[in-house]
Amino acid sequence: MLERVREALSDREPLPHPGTFEGWRSTATPDPVDGLVQLLEDAGGEVVRQPSIDAAAAWLASFCADFESSAVGETVPLLLHPPLPPGAPDTAPLGVSLARGAVAETGSLIMDARDGRRAQLLVPTHVVFVYAAHVYATLREALIDLADDLPSAIGFHSGPSKSADIGQILVKGVHGPGRLIAVLIESEG
Amino acid sequence: MSFTGPTKYREEAAKILRETPEVRTSVTAATRTFDAHRIRAWEQIDAESWRDWARDVKTHALGNLDAYLEQAEEQLTANGAHVHWAETADDALAILSEVVRDHGIESTVKAKSMLSEELGVNKHLEGLGVHVRETDLGEYIIQLLDQPPSHIVGPAIHLSVDDCRRLFHEKLGTPLDAEPDELAGAARDALRAEFLAADLGISGGNFLAADSGTVALIENEGNIRLSTSLPRVHVAFVGIEKLVPRLEDVSGFLQLTARSATGQPIGNFVSLIQGPRKSDEVDGPEEVHVVLVDNGRTKLLADDVAWEALRCVRCGACLNICPVYRQTGGHAYGWTYSGPIGAIIAPGMLGLEEAMPLPFASSLCGACTDVCPVRIPIPELLVHWREQAARQGLTPATETLGLKAYTKLAQSPELFAVANSMLRHVPLELAGRALPVLNGWIQERAAPTSSKKSFLEMWKEGIE
Amino acid sequence: MRVSLFATCLGNQFYAEACADAVRLLRHVGVDVDVPEGQTCCGQPAHNAGRPDEARSMATHIMHVFADAEYVVLPSGSCAGMIRSFYRELIDSDPGQAESLAGRTYELSQFLRRVLNVDSLGTGLRGRRVAYHHGCHALRELGVKDEPISLLAGCGAEVVEWEAAEECCGFGGLFSAKLPEVSAAMADRKLDTLPDIDFMTSSDGGCLLQLSGRAAKRRTGPPFVHLASALWRGVTE
C-alpha cells in the first residue's frame, strides 16, 4: 500500500510544513483561568472556585450530601475523596475525578486514563478537581506538554454531554455525564 | 437499506422533492442553523489565516504521506497498538473478521464513523452473527429506521422532532408527545446497557498524529469515549488521508473542525488514543487495532488536480452552505459522502462512471469555497471531473454535439445571428427535439421569450 | 473615454432592451460606447461543461474581437467573471493578451461605481421596494456586492432585506436543464422567501431567465427587471 502512495506522489513537489500557527485568536483573553471558566459555563458546565484543597474538600462534603455513593478516580488525593460509600462507576450517581489540567482556549478539562475512564464517563454527575496552576492558555501548549507523558488515552471534556440530533434541539446528558462541575483549586497548598 | 448509488441522483432527488417535501424543509433549517453557528465561531478567530495554515499542513502531510504513514505505524506499535493496512474495503473487513474470530466477539458498540459506513462494516458484522449497535444518537435513530445517514455531521437532519417521537414511541415505548429530553433519556438508557455489555468498540478517526501515534476523535455526546473505553477490544478505521504530522498540529485541526462543523470552540469530548490500556491503568481496552484504509484514496492522491479533496476534515460546512444539497439532503446522492465533498471524491473512489452525475450536480455557485476550512477548490475539481467525463464519453452525445455546434456558431458572428433569429421564431419546445437537454428547462419553467430584435440588430439601427 | 459593450449571448438574445439601456446609461454618464461586431459568446457554457477546447476557441475569438477595446463592459456578472478569472489560464496561446483583456473587463455596476465613481444616477426609483439577487459569479468571482445596491439606492430605491439574496438561483448554465427538479427547487427557495417588493433585479441574464421562468410557470412572483433597465429607470423616471 505504501508503494501505491509513493507512486501517486512521484511527480509532485511536496510543500514544506508551514510550522506553528500562533494567531488562533483575533482577541486574546486576559486571564487563562477566566477564559476557562467562561467557556465551561457557556457550554453548560458549572464552575466552583476554591482557594485551597481544604476549602475544596469542605465544599465537596456539603455538595455530596444528596448522593448515596460515588466512584472516585485513582489519582484523586485522599483529602478530596467524598465522605460517601464507594460505588461502581456504572451505578454510582456521582463521580469524582482529578483532571491532569485544563485548557483555557477551548474550555476543556484534561482527563487522563490513569485516573480511570469509567468513573469519568458513566456517572450522571461528574465533579472534576483541577489546579489553577495546571491551566494551559492554549490547546497547543497543553498537547506539547502532554506529549512527554502520554497514557493510553486522554479525554478533553468541555462540558456536559449533549446532542442536537433530535430535530436540531439541544438536549443534555445523552451518554456521558449530564452534569459537569469543575472545581478550580487556586492553590495546591 | 443500502445506498442507491450516485447514478440514480436525478431520480432520487426528484422523488424526494415530489414525495417527501418535508425533507427539504428539515434539511434547509438544519443546514442554515449549522452555517449560522460556523459564521459566529469563525468571527471569533482569524479564520482566513487559520484556513491557510490548515490547508498548508494538510498539503504538506499528503505530499509526504508515505513517510508519515510509516512513522504513525512505528509509534502506534510502540504504544502497544496493532496496526493493519487495508488496501480495499474487503481487506478492511477481513481484518475485522479476524479480530471478531480471535476474540469471540458477540456484540459491538459503534461510534459514528463515515468510513465504517463506506466500508459496509455493520452489514458485514451482522453477517458474522455479531450484534451491532450505533451509539451516536443520530446514527441510532437512522439505524432504527434502517436508513443511511443524510449528512456527514448530523445523520438525522432530514427528520423532524415528530418523526423521532413516532419512532421512539414505536421502538422504545415513549409517549407520542414526549419532549426531546425524554426521547434522549430513553435512548441513553437503552444504549447504556449495550455499552456495558459490548465486547468490541468500533470507531473511525478524525485525525492521526504521526509523531505520537495518536488517533484523535471528536464528539459531543460521549458515546465515542464510551465505545473506545469500555469494551475489551477497540478497532479504529482510519483513512490514510487523516494523517497529520504532529500532535501539536492536531490542536489546530480539532478547533478549526469543531468551529466549522458546529460552531463550537472544540467538540464536547475529544479522545486522544495512543493504544491499549497500560499496566498502571484501571480500565480501558486490552487491545487496540488501528486499520489504515486506502479504498480508493491513493487513486485520488495520484490525480494531479483532485488530490486536494483529500485535505477534507469532514466538517460538513460545504454541505451546510450548498444550495443544491439543501434541496434534498444526502440520500439523493446515493453514497456515504454527499454534498460538494461527495461529488469530488466519488469519481476518484468509486470510479467516474459509477459517480456520475455527481460532478454535474452543482451550479458551480462557489459558496463551498467560502466555507471550506482547508480551502479545497471544489468548483475547480468539479469542472476537472466534468472534463474527464466528457473525455471518457460519459456525457450524452447530444450534449457533446450541441456544444461543438454552438462553438462553431460562436466563432462566426453571421451564423450566430442566424441562429439568434431562428430561436426567435422557433419555439423552445421544438428546439428541445433537436437538443433534448432543453426539455429539462421547459419541464420546470416557462420558455423564455426572445427579444423582438437582437441587441446587435438594435445597435445597427441606432440606439437613442 | 471609450467603452466597448459586450452584450453576451443571453443579453443579445433575451435582454436586448436591457443592453440598450446599458448603452444609454453609459452615454448618460459621459462615456462613448461602441459595440464590436464580432461578439458572440464568452465561452462559459463550454468551460463549465468541462469542454476546455471549445471554451478556448470561443474565448480566443472574443479576445480578438475586443483586442483594441479601452474598457470592456458587460451587463452580466458571470460573463465578466469568466473573462477575468479564466481567460488567462484558458488561452495558453497568448496569456499576456488574455490577461490584458481581463484587466480591462468589468461588469456594468462594477464599472459605474469603481471606475467612474458614479453615486447617484437620478431619483427615478424613489419609493420603490426592490430585491437584489446576487449572481454567484458576480459575487464570488468579481467580488461585486455593494456596487449594484448602492447604485439602486442612489436612485432612491429601497433595497430590501432578503434572507436568500446571496443564494444561488439554480441556473448554473446547463445544470438548469440537466437537473431541472433540483434547479427548480433552488429557484423556489428564492421566490418563496421574497418579501413584498415592486420588482426584483439582478445583473445576470441567466439568473433572471431562471427566476422569471420559474415564477411564470408557477404563476407567481414579482416583475423581473435587469439591473441596466432598473438603473435607466432611475435616470428617466
What is the rounded average pLDDT of the residues B336-354? 96
Quote the distance between the C-alpha of residue B165 and its chain's center. Answer: 27
pLDDT reading at A55 higher than 90: yes
Q: Touch between chain A and chain C (3+ CB pairs, < 8 Å)?
A: no
Band of the pLDDT at C204, cuts 50, 70, 90?
A: very high
Query: Measured between CA atoms, how close is B215 to chain A, in angstroms?
Result: 9
Kindly report the CA angle at A131 between A126 and A133, in degrees rounded to 5? 150
Asked whether the beta carbons of B383 and C22 are under 8 A apart, the reply is no
Query: How much is the pLDDT for A28?
Result: 55
In this structure, are strands A153-157 and A108-112 parallel, antiparallel, or unpaired? Answer: antiparallel
Query: Measured between CA atoms, how close is A80 to chain B, in angstroms?
Result: 19
In the three-class reduction of DSSP (H, G, I as helix; E, B as strand; rest coil), residue A171 is classed as strand
What is the rounded average pLDDT of the residues B41-62? 95
Query: Measured between CA atoms, how close is A122 to chain B, in angstroms?
Result: 8
Say if the Cβ atoms of B454 and C61 lie within 8 Å: no
pLDDT reading at B436 higher than 80: no
At C119, which amino acid appears? D
Say if the Cβ atoms of B141 and A166 lie within 8 Å: yes
Nearest CA in chain B to A4: B298
What is the rounded average pLDDT of the residues B236-265? 96
pLDDT reading at B386 higher than 70: yes
pLDDT reading at B1 higher than 70: no
Torsion angle, alpha carbons of C124, C130, C134, C135, to 10: -70
Among candidate residues B139, B244, B296, B261, the one with its CA nearest the CA of residue B202? B139
Decide if C202 touches B, using CB distance below 8 A: no
Nearest CA in chain B to C36: B456
Quote the distance between the C-alpha of residue A54 and its chain's center. Answer: 22
pLDDT in tens, C33-72: 999 999 999 999 999 999 999 999 999 999 999 999 999 9
Q: Which residues of chain A make contact with B222, given a CB cutoff of 8 A?
A: 121, 161, 174-177
What is the rounded average pLDDT of the residues B81-97? 97
Say if the Cβ atoms of B416 and C20 lie within 8 Å: no
Query: How much is the pLDDT for A25?
Result: 61
What is the rounded average pLDDT of the residues B323-341? 96
Which of B52, B272, B278 best tests the A interface by mutation, with the highest count of A CBs <10 A?
B272
Query: How much is the pLDDT for A189?
Result: 59
Phi, psi angle pair for C35, to nearest 5°: -130, 95
Among candidate residues A56, B215, B365, the one with its CA nearest the CA of residue C168? B365
Terminal Cα distance for chain C, rounded: 26
Query: How much is the pLDDT for A29?
Result: 60
pLDDT reading at B432 higher than 70: no
pLDDT reading at B98 higher than 70: yes
Band of the pLDDT at B54, cuts 50, 70, 90?
A: very high
Cβ partners under 8 Å of residue A59, min gap 6: A48, A50, A183
Say if the Cβ atoms of B254 and A39 lie within 8 Å: no
Decide if C189 touches B, using CB distance below 8 A: yes
Query: Measured between CA atoms, how close is B454 to chain C, in angstroms?
Result: 5
Query: How much is the pLDDT for B217?
Result: 97
Q: Which residues of chain A make contact with B45, given a CB cutoff of 8 A?
A: 24-26
Q: Which residues of chain C make contact with B24, given a CB cutoff of 8 A?
A: 185
Mean pLDDT of chain A: 91
Band of the pLDDT at B379, cuts 50, 70, 90?
A: very high
pLDDT reading at C93 higher than 90: yes
Cell of A121: 464517563
Kindly report the CA angle at B112 between B110 and B116, in degrees rounded to 5? 75
Query: Measured between CA atoms, how close is B272 to chain A, in angstroms?
Result: 5
pLDDT in tens, A124-169: 999 999 999 999 999 999 999 999 999 999 999 999 998 888 888 8
Terminal Cα distance for chain B, rounded: 65
pLDDT in tens, C133-167: 999 999 999 999 999 999 999 999 999 999 999 99
What is the rounded average pLDDT of the residues B418-441? 78
Query: How much is the pLDDT for B11?
Result: 96
Decide if B186 touches A, using CB distance below 8 A: no
* Fold classified for A30-185: Rossmann fold (3.40.50)
In this structure, are strands B243-244 and A169-172 parallel, antiparallel, or unpaired? Answer: unpaired
Nearest CA in chain C to B461: C20
Nearest CA in chain A to B81: A152
Q: Which residues of chain A make contact with B247, given a CB cutoff of 8 A?
A: 143-144, 146-147
Crossing angle between the packed helical segments B437-444 and C205-218, to the nearest 10 degrees: 50
pLDDT in tens, A15-41: 888 888 876 664 556 688 999 999 999
Neighbours of B336 (CB within 10 A): 22
Q: Which residues of chain B make contact with C184, given a CB cutoff of 8 A?
A: 444-445
Decide if B214 touches A, using CB distance below 8 A: yes
Query: How much is the pLDDT for A113?
Result: 96
What is the rounded average pLDDT of the residues B143-161? 87
Q: Which of B297-301, B363-367, B424-428, C95-99 is least confident?
A: B424-428
Query: Measured between CA atoms, how close is A125 to chain B, in angstroms?
Result: 14
HSE-up (13 A, CA, CB side) for residue B221: 29
Which of B372, B459, B460, B464 best tests the C interface by mutation, with the highest count of C CBs <10 A?
B459
Cβ partners under 8 Å of residue A3, min gap 6: none
Cβ within 8 Å of B, C 95-134: none
Query: How much is the pLDDT for C236?
Result: 94
Rg value, chain C, Cα:
17
Phi, psi angle pair for C36, to nearest 5°: -55, 135
- For residues B215 and B212, what is the distance between their CA atoms, to the nearest angstrom? 9
Nearest CA in chain A to B57: A17
What is the rounded average pLDDT of the residues C227-233? 97
Cell of B400: 457533446
Q: Which residues of chain C make contact with B406, given a CB cutoff of 8 A?
A: 41, 45-46, 54
Query: How much is the pLDDT for A173?
Result: 80
- For residues C134 and C164, what is the distance between their CA atoms, to the nearest angstrom? 9
Say if the Cβ atoms of B304 and A113 lie within 8 Å: no
Neighbours of chain C (3+ CB pairs under 8 A): B
Query: How much is the pLDDT for B434?
Result: 65
Mean pLDDT of chain B: 94
pLDDT reading at C173 higher than 80: yes
Which of B324, B365, B443 best tests the C interface by mutation, with the highest count of C CBs <10 A?
B365
From the list A4, A165, A176, which residue is nearest B222 (CB)?
A176
Query: How much is the pLDDT for C50?
Result: 96
- For residues B312 and C226, what is the distance between their CA atoms, to the nearest angstrom? 39
Among candidate residues A80, A122, A123, A82, the one with its CA nearest the CA of residue A99? A80
Crossing angle between the packed helical segments B161-172 and B137-145, to the nearest 10 degrees: 70
Asked whether the beta carbons of B402 and B435 are under 8 A apart, the reply is yes
Say if the Cβ atoms of B274 and A151 lie within 8 Å: yes
Kindly report the CA angle at B124 between B119 and B127, in degrees rounded to 5? 170
pLDDT reading at A76 higher than 70: yes
Asked whether the beta carbons of C32 and C1 are under 8 A apart, the reply is yes
Query: How much is the pLDDT for B433?
Result: 66
Query: Measured between CA atoms, how close is C235 to chain B, in angstroms?
Result: 14
Long-range Cβ contacts of B138-143 (<8 Å, 24+ apart): B138/A163, B138/A165, B138/B112, B139/B110, B139/B112, B140/B187, B140/B191, B141/A165, B141/A166, B141/B167
Query: How much is the pLDDT for B2?
Result: 65
What is the rounded average pLDDT of the residues C225-234? 97
* ipTM of this complex: 0.96
Query: Measured between CA atoms, how close is C155 to chain B, in angstroms?
Result: 21
Q: Which domains does chain C have, with CATH numbers?
A: 2-115 (no CATH), 129-236 (3.40.50)
Q: What is the pTM of this model?
A: 0.95
